[in-house]
Amino acid sequence: MSISANASKYDPWLAYLTQVERVTPYLGKSIQPYVNTLKVAKRALIVDLPIVMDDGSIRHFEGYRVQHNLSRGPGKGGIRYHPDVDLKEVMALSAWMTIKTAALNLPFGGAKGGISVDPTELSARELERLTRRFTSEIGPLIGPQVDIPAPDVGTNPQIMGWMMETYSSIKGHTVTGVVTGKPLHLGGSLGRVRATGRGVFITGVEVAKNIQLAIKDCKVAIQGFGNVGSEAAYLFEEAGAKVVAVQDHTGTIFNENGIEVVELQKYVHHNKGVKGFPKAQEISNENFWTLQMDILIPAALEGQITAERAQNLTAKLILEGANGPTHPEADDVCLERGITIVPDVICNAGGVTVSYFEWVQDMSSYFWSEAEINERLDKLMINAIADVWQKSTDQDCSLRTAAYILACERILKARQERGIFPG
Ligand code: NAD
């Protein structure tokens, strides 16, 4: 089911290029000559994945791994299994990872991968075969010092476990640091599964304070109730807010008195979607965007907040759990209407931050407690959003442009100091 015809016209790579164009005038003269390095992907690999299905037939799938920029360190970015995955989408997602790791000052570049597949249509054995073949095909491009995948839409810790096992089998020894978001007993990190939703909450609370929005009085609407959306929903409810609407790929539910998040999590676990949840009414997908709400959390796919939807939004604060949920024209509408957007490259960076912690733990074979991880995550994210807020105040620009200024300066300074090979 597509969310809307408008949203499907969105070109994520073009949206990313627009964001780079918008930040360019703010960048210092000495790094201006290097800006074009942000407008291209360093490497892109397209792979054919022939898989023997359970019925004995052979199906071909197409997979991708893109390394957008490696100026600041190894590539880092998730693997998406979704029918809409294509090269342009993966390029945009890898570029956003470049910006995100730099905005958080993590020692990584940006990468992303994916397979054009609906994982719900495959059996567990087929999914495992697909994952193992994909890992072997992108094997020459990944590695703990080179490029480190992680979960994204449609992938999970089990899939990361299969990737780690396949890569290790090829190398002939266990290489835990080749992927993050793994199961705990395979070198995964405590706190990783909930980290992205936690980061959405932490950055949301910080910005809410700055715009005098009291969380406990807030109505929250969430699109996407997976890893990111459901954890953010849980934390906002715990802080006293009411989750009044949730939309996922099965439909939209609404209850102005609040939807109990844990109950909905259990329901979604058993029913594979929010549709039919008994303690809320079903509304049309388009009505979701005009509901009374204080905070909107897009936590599904790209391109959901169009200029038209932005015109009618009642939210005061948008927390971008998803990557690239807002069209550049909608950014302009929100700026005009005084709606504050905490951009994806900061808001959903909790996941990559704990992935960084996981990688560090794997490298040193020394593992931290969940309390330690959450404390470090909270500190890093609070500092990052404070820097972005300060930059947006100093430059009188949106939080997105401010985050891009900080990130692009770091990336381009690294490029400048490394120089251009062969010189
Ligand atoms: P997920 O697969 O766990 O959940 C995705 C959710 O989106 C599900 O509730 C699904 O029903 C919903 N969805 C899918 N198609 C939809 C549609 N057409 N209309 C409405 N809802 C739809 O994925 P996730 O890991 O929660 O990722 C969600 C977003 O957050 C993605 O943009 C992803 O790139 C981004 N993100 C995820 C992480 C992470 O650590 N998982 C980190 C950073 C950013």
Q: Is 271 annotated as a binding residue?
A: no
The two tokens of residue 68 are 């957008």
Residue 305 located in a structural domain: yes
Residue 154 located in a structural domain: yes
Whether pLDDT at 37 is above 80: yes
Burial call 382-393: b when 16+ CB within 10 Å, e when fewer: eebbebbbebbe
Instruction: Supply the DSSP string of 223-251, one letter for each residue.
Output: E--SHHHHHHHHHHHHTT-EEEEEEETTE
Q: Are residues 160 and 209 in the same domain?
A: no
Q: Are residues 214 and 162 in the same domain?
A: no
**CATH, residue 233:** 3.40.50.720
Tell me, using a 6 A CB cutoff, whether residue 340 lines ligand 1: no
The residue-averaged pLDDT of 276-290 equals 98
Give me the domain span that covers residue 159. Answer: 40-175
Residue 28 located in a structural domain: no
Cross-strand pairs, 402: none
Tell me, using a 6 A CB cutoff, whether residue 405 lines ligand 1: no
User: Which residue among 9, 42, 88, 112 is the active-site one?
Assistant: 112
Tokens 């909270």 map to which residue? 378
Quickly state the pLDDT bin for 5 (edges 50, 70, 90): very low
Task: Report d(CA 218, CA 202) in Å as an integer.
Answer: 15
Half-sphere exposure of 230 (CA within 13 A, CB side): 17
Testing ligand 1's pocket by substitution, the residue of 196, 243, 261, 265 carrying the most ligand atoms inside 8 A of its CB is 196
Minimum-distance ligand 1 atom for the alpha carbon of 225: 9
Residues 6+ apart with CB under 8 A from 222: 229, 232, 233, 243, 245, 246, 247, 296, 297, 299, 321
Q: Are residues 261 and 314 in the same domain?
A: yes
Tell which of 175, 210, 232 closes a domain: 175
Quickly state the pLDDT bin for 104 (edges 50, 70, 90): very high
Residues 6+ apart with CB under 8 A from 366: none
Q: Are residues 156 and 222 in the same domain?
A: no
Quote the pLDDT of residue 423: 82
Q: Are residues 80 and 213 in the same domain?
A: no
Whether pLDDT at 230 is above 50: yes
Tell me, using a 6 A CB cutoff, whether residue 267 lines ligand 1: no
Q: Is 135 annotated as a binding residue?
A: no
The two tokens of residue 121 are 């249509």
DSSP-assigned letter for residue 44: E
Q: How many Å lie between the centroid of ligand 1 and the Cα of residue 143?
A: 25
The residue-averaged pLDDT of 249-255 equals 97
Domain count, the chain: 2
Q: Are residues 115 and 210 in the same domain?
A: no
Tokens 């029918």 map to which residue? 83
Residue 284 located in a structural domain: yes
Q: Are residues 342 and 198 in the same domain?
A: yes
Quote the pLDDT of residue 347: 98
Q: Are residues 127 and 258 in the same domain?
A: no
Tell me, using a 6 A CB cutoff, whether residue 154 lines ligand 1: yes
Tell me, using a 6 A CB cutoff, whether residue 249 lines ligand 1: yes
Tell me, using a 6 A CB cutoff, whether residue 301 lines ligand 1: yes
Quote the pLDDT of residue 185: 94
Task: Report d(CA 119, CA 126) in Å as an integer.
Answer: 9
Which secondary structure element, helix H or strand E, spans residue 69, and what is its range? strand 58-69
Quickly state the pLDDT bin for 227 (edges 50, 70, 90): very high
> Which residue has a Cα nearest atom 35 of ligand 1?
322
Tokens 């290097």 map to which residue? 34
The residue-averaged pLDDT of 301-306 equals 95
Q: Are residues 147 and 200 in the same domain?
A: no
Question: Helix, strand, or coil here: 23?
Answer: helix
Question: Helix, strand, or coil here: 67?
Answer: strand
Residues 6+ apart with CB under 8 A from 371: none
The residue-averaged pLDDT of 81-100 equals 97
Q: How many Å lie between the centroid of ligand 1 and the Cα of residue 121?
A: 17
Tell which of 298, 324, 347 closes a domain: 347
- Mean pLDDT, rounded, of the chain: 96
Residue type (1 letter), 307 = A
Quote the pLDDT of residue 170: 97
Minimum-distance ligand 1 atom for the alpha carbon of 192: 40
> Which residue has a Cα nearest atom 29 of ligand 1?
322
The two tokens of residue 54 are 């359970």
Minimum-distance ligand 1 atom for the alpha carbon of 248: 21
Quickly state the pLDDT bin for 1 (edges 50, 70, 90): very low
Task: Report d(CA 268, CA 369) in Å as an integer.
Answer: 29
Whether pLDDT at 6 is above 70: no
Task: Report d(CA 326, CA 343) in Å as an integer.
Answer: 9
pLDDT > 70 fraction of the chain, expressed in percent and rounded: 98
Whether pLDDT at 4 is above 70: no
Minimum-distance ligand 1 atom for the alpha carbon of 321: 30
> Which residue has a Cα nearest atom 27 of ligand 1?
153
Residue 271 located in a structural domain: yes
Tell me, using a 6 A CB cutoff, whether residue 224 lines ligand 1: yes
Q: How many Å lie between the centroid of ligand 1 and the Cα of residue 300?
A: 4
Quote the pLDDT of residue 169: 98
Q: Are residues 334 and 199 in the same domain?
A: yes
Tell me, using a 6 A CB cutoff, whether residue 3 lines ligand 1: yes
Whether pLDDT at 237 is above 70: yes
The residue-averaged pLDDT of 218-223 equals 98
pTM of the model: 0.96
Whether pLDDT at 209 is above 50: yes
Task: Report d(CA 212, CA 391) in Å as an integer.
Answer: 19
pLDDT in tens, 328-361: 999 999 999 999 999 999 999 999 999 999 999 9
Minimum-distance ligand 1 atom for the alpha carbon of 181: 40
Residue 46 located in a structural domain: yes
Q: Are residues 171 and 199 in the same domain?
A: no
Q: How many Å lie between the centroid of ligand 1 and the Cα of residue 302?
A: 9
**CATH, residue 61:** 3.40.50.10860
Tell which of 329, 347, 365 closes a domain: 347
Whether pLDDT at 273 is above 90: yes
Tell me, using a 6 A CB cutoff, whether residue 152 lines ligand 1: yes
Q: Is 76 annotated as a binding residue?
A: yes
Q: How many Å lie between the centroid of ligand 1 and the Cα of residue 249?
A: 10
pLDDT in tens, 168-199: 999 999 999 999 999 999 999 999 999 999 99
The two tokens of residue 378 are 């909270």
Residue 209 appears among annotated catalytic residues: no
Residues 6+ apart with CB under 8 A from 96: 16, 110, 323, 324, 344, 345
Whether pLDDT at 3 is above 70: no
Q: What are phi and psi of 55, to 5 degrees?
A: -85, 5
Q: Are residues 258 and 308 in the same domain?
A: yes
Q: How many Å lie between the centroid of ligand 1 and the Cα of residue 26?
A: 32
Quickly state the pLDDT bin for 16 (edges 50, 70, 90): very high
Tell me, using a 6 A CB cutoff, whether residue 226 lines ligand 1: yes
Quickly state the pLDDT bin for 113 (edges 50, 70, 90): very high
Minimum-distance ligand 1 atom for the alpha carbon of 195: 40
Q: Is 196 annotated as a binding residue?
A: yes
Residue 355 located in a structural domain: no
